[in-house]
Amino acid sequence: MARDSRIEFIEAVRECLASCYGTDFPLAVLGDYVERLKQRGWSPGEIHKVEAAVTKILLAVVSQEERNSFIRRIIKPRSGTFPKPASGGPGLPPTAEFNRGASSEEPKTS
């Protein structure tokens, strides 16, 4: 980061989280905040670091049900649905198992 990097990074993360905590739509708030950082002249790399830190913290503080919902909104599998959780798991398959069923063909829609 080209600016007084560590302090500005921490302040940006703190400011964004404060806004996210005050809403039921943290992804929308995060998107708005990213746009503000662009307008302030932050580089794409700097913005990505802030966005990644905020996302990681938000995932750490929400309930398991909210976490699964949040993850499903930002990561969509090729089939459009996640497999059912096995034995009370979080509903997200291990990467190797998930990719084993993937093919190079586009999913057929009816």
Chain segment 55-71, per-residue pLDDT in tens: 999 888 777 777 677 77
Please compute the mean of the pLDDT values over residues 61-85 and round it to a whole number.
Answer: 66
pLDDT tens digits, 26-47: 889 999 999 999 999 999 999 9
Please compute the mean of the pLDDT values over residues 13-32 and round it to a whole number.
Answer: 90
> Cβ neighbours of residue 37 under 8 Å, at least 6 residues apart?
12, 46, 47, 50
> Is the pTM above the cut of 0.75?
no
**Displacement of CA 76 from its chain's centroid (Å):** 11
Q: What is the pLDDT of residue 43?
A: 93
Inter-CA distances, 86 with 59, 63, 78, 94, Å = 21, 19, 20, 11
Phi, psi of 105 (to 5 degrees): -80, 145
Establish how many alpha carbons lie within 13 A of residue 22's alpha carbon, considering only the half-sphere containing its beta carbon.
7
